[in-house]
Structures are given as structure tokens and as C-alpha cells.
Structure 1
Amino acid sequence: MSQGCGSTNRITGSSFSIYPMTDLFVEIIKSSLNEVDTSKVWIKTDDVTTTVRGQMTHVFDVTRAMFLQAAKMGEHVVFQSTYSIGCPGDSAGDVYMAEDGVPLNGSQSKRIGQDVAAKFSLYPMGGGDYMDVIYSQIEEMKKQGVEVNEAHYSTRLDGDGNKVFNGLEQVFEQTEKQGSAHTVMTVTMSANSPSTKGGE
């Protein structure tokens, strides 16, 4: 696989894991997989993570749906993901980049009302004037009812899971559109935690 920059094939990928904090973890994971339509993404699971690749809208659609389907069962569930697009590139031969832009899981996900807490860090690489874009997208999250706070090495988001995922997708997309040749975003999200907020 070529490691050069400058590819026009903007494949998005996510390497993620879901951790149900319960003895029912096998049932929760299997149920989530059965509920989510992954037919518009390339997907592979190993003993550490699941990787999905394809158009940005479908990658976020699948990862959002996986987490919300797991969280709706009421158990404490943690989601960790690294999203990436751009340089050092990706192989296009096995990715469904020709799919249309209609998310397959959107209507089901929207019906899941689930409060979440998340922390994310964004790493734009290779050019672009992106700081104003990031700040403007964070302001948009606030307007949508997501609570935004600074945290060590990250930004904390609290609110409805769909609104949080919407905000994460928007800040990722707009940073890439602003000229970042390679954009990476790390996300940790928790639902139904018995812990008090903050942990300071």
C-alpha cells in the first residue's frame, strides 16, 4: 500500500471497541451487531478492535449505531474509537466508496434517546487553517444542547448521544474540508455509568 500523500480517494476509517461493563457483554455485543446494517462499509473484527472503512457518513452511521444499540440496554457501556481520513492513504480496492450517501441506520439511531459523556481529541495534519473551524463547530454543538467543557488533553461533551455524534461528525468533516491532508480524531464515550460526572 502506498504511503504517499495527495490521494483524492478520501476513505474514512474507524478502529473501535465497545466495552459493556457487565456479565452480559457477549449478549449485548451480539445483539448490537445484529441490529446494525453494515452493508455500505468494509468491516473486519479481530480480537482487539473492529475496523470499518468507507464513506465518512457511513462510517459514522455504523459506529454511532453500534454504540447506541449497546447502550440502550441500560448497562454501563464504553466506546473507544480512532477515526482517520487522508494521508498516509488507504487502499481503495476493497472499500465501498461508490455507495450512495444515505445512512442505513439513521432512523433507528434517532429513536434511541441516550445520555452520554464523551471526550474527544482532534489532530489535523498536513496544512489547513482549521482552528476557527473547530471552535465554530464546538459553538454549534452548544447550540444543539450539548454541554462542552475543557478537559486535560481533550474536550468533554455531555448530552444526548445522537447530538454528540452529530457534533463529532461535523467537526471531523469540516476540519477535513478546511484543508487538513490527514485528520485523526480519538473518542471515548460512556453511557449509563454509575460514576459521578467529572471525576476531578
Structure 2
Amino acid sequence: MSQQCGNSRIAGCSFSVHPMTDQFVEYIKGSLKETDTSNVWMDTDEVTTTVRGEIEHVFDVTRAVFLRIAKTGVHTAFNATYSIGCPGDSAGDQYTGDIGEPANGLHEVKQHTSAKFSLYPMGGGDYMEVIYREIDRMKEKGIDVSAVHYATKLSGDVNDTFHGLEDVFRETERSGSSHTVMTVTMSANSPSQKEEQS
């Protein structure tokens, strides 16, 4: 990896996915194998998987990995940190081929999720104004939005939620944030949710 630092516009995400089942290894490896990662650079270690590339492809891959497991009905948890513009980032470890449209489909799959996200626009501007504006954008997508300590809670369809998070991330960068970080915690098929609905 290149050690040259600078204000890289490569988007990236370090994430982990946790299927709550004894067969978690098969679920994780199967999801990574089935997901088309040809439009991103990817590396998996014992802690997380990291993907780097253009924003739409980073979100496409992370959405697909989570959704491929969640749609099986297994209780699935997902934790991710998305980042773009880190001053200490390098120009290496990125996909550099001919990049087309996001490759993973699954947009027809209906899967409910609950999530919490926190947004950190750094490097200038009225960051609270940016955060409030982007939270309002999530509501426009039909996602239930509520305030919780240290985050914003979301409830809705997985695809709608990921598309909303991608829009929030993209628009925050466009607003003038030189370094944007967003943390996401997501859950599907939780026993707690099923108890609340019964």
C-alpha cells in the first residue's frame, strides 16, 4: 500500500457482519463469495472486511453482503464505518479498472431492518445544519426516523435504508465536508423486533 498521504477522494468502508447461528462461517463466506466485488478493492482479515472504490460501489457491495444473509431469515447484525477524504488516507488499494453500474442487484428483495447511524462531517461548515438536513432526507424516503442517544435510529426496508444512507453520505461530501465519516449499526430478523410486532 502506498504510504503517500493526502486528501484522497476514494470512498471506503470497514465492516463486519454477524449471523446469529452456529453456521456463521458458512453464511459469511457464502455471502462474500456470492457478492460481486469486481468494482471495488477488498481485503478481509480476522476483524473486518474493507472495501474501497467509488461511493456507489462501496455501498452496493456492503448492502449485498448484509442482504444476502438477512434474506435467509437468520438474525443478522452489521457494523460499518464509511469514510471519504481522510487526510491520512493513501492513494493505493483501490479498484482502477473500467467501472460500470453497481453489479449486485437484489433490489426486488424485501427485508425489514432496524439501524442506527451517526454522521461526522469534518473540515468546515455548520456540521449540525448538515446533519439535520440529511436526517430529513432519510424521512423523504419513507424510512421511520427517530432520535436516540448518540445516533439516529432508522426503521424500514433494507434497500431503502442503504440507498438513503448512500444519499446522506454523498450529499454530505458535496456540501463541502472535506472528510466525511458515517458509522452504521444494522439488524435484521431480530427476536426483539418480532416480540414487539406480536
Partner of 1:104: 103
Q: Tell me how far apart the structure 1 counterparts of residues 191 and 118 of structure 2 sit (CA, whole Å).
A: 24
Partner of 1:157: 154
Write the letter of the residue equivalent to 1:49. T
How many residues are matched? 193
Q: Tell me how far apart the structure 2 counterparts of residues 97 and 87 of structure 1 sit (CA, whole Å).
A: 19
Q: What is the TM-score when the length of structure 1 is the normalising length? A: 0.89
Describe the shift of the 1:72–1:97 C-alpha distance in structure 2 as closer, same or farther (beyond 3 A).
same
Pairwise CA distance, 1:57: 0.8
Pairwise CA distance, 1:98: 5.3
The superposition leaves residues 53-74 of structure 1 with CA deviations (integer Å, 9 ceiling, x where unpaired) of 1111110110000000110110
Q: Decide which of 122, 126, 143 is 1:125's aligned counterpart.
A: 122
Describe the shift of the 1:145–1:15 C-alpha distance in structure 2 as closer, same or farther (beyond 3 A).
same
Partner of 2:183: 186
Describe the shift of the 1:140–1:125 C-alpha distance in structure 2 as closer, same or farther (beyond 3 A).
closer
Partner of 2:51: 52
Write the letter of the residue equivalent to 2:83. S
Q: Tell me how far apart the structure 1 counterparts of residues 149 and 140 of structure 2 sit (CA, whole Å).
A: 23
Please list, as runs of the form range in 1=range in 2, the aligned pairs for 1:15-34 lying within 5 A after superposition: 15-34=14-33
The superposition leaves residues 40-99 of structure 1 with CA deviations (integer Å, 9 ceiling, x where unpaired) of 111000000000011111101100000001101101000000001002242223312554
Q: Tell me how far apart the structure 1 counterparts of residues 62 and 107 of structure 2 sit (CA, whole Å).
A: 14
Percent of residue pairs identical? 62
Which secondary structure state, in structure 2, belongs to the residue aligned with residue 145 of structure 1?
A: coil
Q: Which runs of 5+ in 2 are unaligned?
A: none
Pairwise CA distance, 1:181: 0.9
Q: Tell me how far apart the structure 1 counterparts of residues 152 and 190 of structure 2 sit (CA, whole Å).
A: 19
Pairwise CA distance, 1:101: 4.8
Q: What is the TM-score when the length of structure 2 is the normalising length? A: 0.90
Describe the shift of the 1:125–1:66 C-alpha distance in structure 2 as closer, same or farther (beyond 3 A).
same
Partner of 1:135: 132
Stretch of structure 1 that moved more, 128-137 or 14-23:
128-137
Partner of 1:35: 34
Q: Which runs of 5+ in 1 are unaligned?
A: none
**Mapped contact 1:14–1:52 kept (Cα < 8 A):** yes
Instruction: Please identify runs of 4+ aligned residues in structure 1 that moved more than 4 A.
Output: none
Write the letter of the residue equivalent to 2:144. E
